[in-house]
Structure 1
Amino acid sequence: MERRTEPRGGPARTGRNVLFALLRWIGGHVQGFYAAVGAFLIIGLVIVLVGSITFAALAGWVMAGETQHIDDAILRWMGAHGSESLNFAALEVTALGARLVVWMVVLVASAFLWISRHRWSAALLWISMLGSGLVNMTLKSAFNRPRPDVFEWRTPHAGTASFPSGHAMTSMVVYGTLGFLIGRLMPTRTLRWLTWLVAGLVIAMVSLSRLYLGVHYPSDVLGGLMTGTAWAVTCGLGVEAVRYFRYRRPQVAAEEADLNGAPRKPAG
C-alpha cells in the first residue's frame, strides 16, 4: 500500500485526485522504486508531447505570418511607452533569464539541496535546466526566425534566432522548477504559495522585459513559455513520483523525508 503524505484538499483538489489515482494505479502494477518512477515519468513525456503539438500549431501560425500583425502592434505600443527608468529596470530584470545568472542560481540552489540531502531534487533541477537549453537551441535552429526590427532595441545584446524566446523558456523551467522544489520544503501552505507566487512574478517580468527591450515578438515569448511549461511540468511530476514511491527505497525515503515540508526526524 502506497503512502500519501498530504491531504487532497485545496483549490487543485480534482487535479491532485487524478494525480494520486494515477500513482496508486502504477504502484499496484509496477514493482520496485525505479520502475515505478520510470513508469510515471512516461506520463510526463505524454504531457511534453501534448505541449509540443500545441507549440507546433503556434509555430505554424508564426512562420506563416498569421501572428505578425498583432506581434508588430504590441511591439509598437511597447516602443512608444519607454523611459530611461524603465530601460534600466528592464535590463536588470532580463538579466535574471541570462545564461550566466541562471547558471549561478542553479549552482547555489543545487548546492543547498545537496547539502540538505535533497539529492534527487538537485538532480531534477539540473535535468530541467540542461534539458531546456537543448530543446530551445534545437527549436531556434529549426525555425531560425529573425529578430524583430519594429523599433530600436533597448539592449546592445541579443542572439540570432528569435523563436522561441530562450529567456522566457529558461525562466519558466528553472524558476518554475526551483519554486516548486523550494515550495515543497516550506512548512506551511501560505509559505508554499508565496514561494510559487515569487517564482511566477520573476517569470512574468523576464518575459515582459524581452518585449519591452524589442528583441522578441509576443509569439516568441508565448512559444518559450509553452515549451518551458511542458518541460517544467515533466520535472515536477518527477518530484511527485519520487515523493510518492520513496518508501520503496529506504535510502531515498531518508534523503527526501521532508519533500512535502514535514520536519526531518533526527537520525538514530
Structure 2
Amino acid sequence: MPHRTAPASRRPPRPPRSERREGTRGHWSLFWNLVFGALRFIGKRAHGFYTTVGLFLLAGVLVAIGGVMLFVRLAGSVREGATQAFDESVMRWVGANPLRETLQPVMVEITMLGTGSVVMAVVVVSGLFLWLTRHKHSAVLLLVATFTGLVLNNVLKMGFDRPRPRLFEWGTHAMTSSFPSGHAMSAATVYVTVAYLAARLQRRRWARWATVIFALMVVLLIAASRVYLGVHYPSDVAAGVILGTAWAGFCMAMLEAIQLFARRAGTVAQQAQEEPAPGGL
C-alpha cells in the first residue's frame, strides 16, 4: 500500500465577521462592567479625600486597560494579515506621490523629533527643570514613564518581529523590527507627558489647551513621517500612538493620586506642628 504524506498544516480560517463583532462586544461589555463596578465600590466605601484618590486611580487603570484592548485588537489583526492590504495601499499611494521627493527633507527633520537622542534630551532638560523647581514627583514620573515605555516597546518589537515595508526606497535608516513603531510610541509617551506637566504649571486655561494640542500635533506629525519615509506601515504607527498615549495617561493619573497624598501628608504635618502640646499655655 503506498505511503500517503500528511497534508500540510494550514492556518485555521478566520471566524466570520459576525462572530468577531460579538467577541468585541463581549470584551467591551466586560470593560464597562468593571468601570461601573469600580465606581459603585468607590461610592460606597470611600468618602471625601479617598473618593478623589480612588477616582484618579480608576481613571488611570481605565485608560491603561482601554489602550491595551485597542492595541490587542490591532495586533491581532496585524498577525492575521487583516491590515496588510490597507497598509500596502497607503504605502503605494505615498510612494506614488509626485511631491514625495520634495517633501522628504521636511519629513526627515520631523522624524528626528522622535529619535532616541532628541527624546532623551527632552526628558533630561524637562526633568532637571521640574526637579530644580521643586516638582520632584513630576520629574520622577517623567523618567519612569519614559524608560518603562522604552522597555515595553523593545519587548513588543522582539515579540512580533514584523518585517519593515519594502515598497519603495526608504527616506531614512531603520534597524529594528516594525511593529509597534518606536518613534510613535516614544513621542506619544514623552511629548504628551511633558505637555501635561507643563500644562499643570499654566494658570490660563487657553495656555493649557494650547500646550496639549501642540504636543498632540507633534506626535501625529512624527507618526505620519514614519509612513511617509517608508519605514513603517500605518498600523505600526497607530499601535505606537495608542500604547504611548495610554501609558502616558496612566502615569498622569498616578501622579495626581500621589500629589493628593503628598499634599494631605504636608497638611497633616503642618497641623500637628501648629497644635499646642498637651498641658501647654
TM-score scaled to structure 2, two decimals? Answer: 0.74
Cross-structure match for 1:149: 166
Please, which of 121, 131, 151 is the counterpart of residue 138 of structure 2? 121
Query: 1:181-192 alignment to 2 at 5 Å?
Result: 181-192=197-208
Aligned-partner Cα distance in 1 for 2:70–2:109: 32
Please, which of 218, 231, 236 is the counterpart of residue 220 of structure 1? 236
The superposition leaves residues 167-216 of structure 1 with CA deviations (integer Å, 9 ceiling, x where unpaired) of 11111110000000001101100111111111011101100000000000
Q: Report which of the two structures shows the higher radius of gyration computed on alpha carbons.
A: 2
The superposition leaves residues 110-165 of structure 1 with CA deviations (integer Å, 9 ceiling, x where unpaired) of 0110111000000111111011101111111110000001111111x102210001
Query: Are 2:47 and 1:28 aligned?
Result: yes
- The question of whether the paired residues in 1 share the 8 Å contact of 2:104 and 2:171 is answered with yes
Aligned length: 230
Please, which of 43, 53, 66 is the counterpart of residue 69 of structure 2? 53
Query: Are 2:81 and 1:92 aligned?
Result: no
CA RMSD of aligned residues (A): 2.9
- The question of whether the paired residues in 1 share the 8 Å contact of 2:186 and 2:244 is answered with yes
The superposition leaves residues 23-52 of structure 1 with CA deviations (integer Å, 9 ceiling, x where unpaired) of 888863987xxxx68x95475345323322
Query: 1:226-245 alignment to 2 at 5 Å?
Result: 226-245=242-261
Cross-structure match for 1:131: 148
Point out which structure has higher relative CO (alpha carbons under 8 A, 6+ apart): 1
Deviation at residue 248 of structure 1 after TM alignment: 1.3
Aligned-partner Cα distance in 1 for 2:269–2:178: 43
Aligned-partner Cα distance in 2 for 1:167–1:201: 14
- The question of whether the paired residues in 1 share the 8 Å contact of 2:137 and 2:259 is answered with no
Deviation at residue 239 of structure 1 after TM alignment: 2.5
**Which residue identity does 1:172 align to in structure 2?**
A
- The question of whether the paired residues in 2 share the 8 Å contact of 1:26 and 1:40 is answered with no
Contiguous gaps of at least 5 residues in structure 2: 1-38, 271-281
Once the two structures are overlaid, the 10-residue window that deviates more, 239-248 or 205-214, is 239-248
Secondary structure (helix, strand or coil) at the match of 2:164 reads coil
Cross-structure match for 1:262: none
- The question of whether the paired residues in 2 share the 8 Å contact of 1:246 and 1:252 is answered with no
Aligned-partner Cα distance in 1 for 2:269–2:154: 36
Query: Are 2:212 and 1:199 aligned?
Result: no
**Which residue identity does 1:28 align to in structure 2?**
H
- CA shift in 2, pair 1:130/1:42, >3 Å: farther
- The question of whether the paired residues in 1 share the 8 Å contact of 2:110 and 2:221 is answered with yes
The superposition leaves residues 28-86 of structure 1 with CA deviations (integer Å, 9 ceiling, x where unpaired) of 3987xxxx68x954753453233222211111111111111110111111112244441
- The question of whether the paired residues in 1 share the 8 Å contact of 2:87 and 2:234 is answered with yes
Query: Are 2:267 and 1:248 aligned?
Result: no
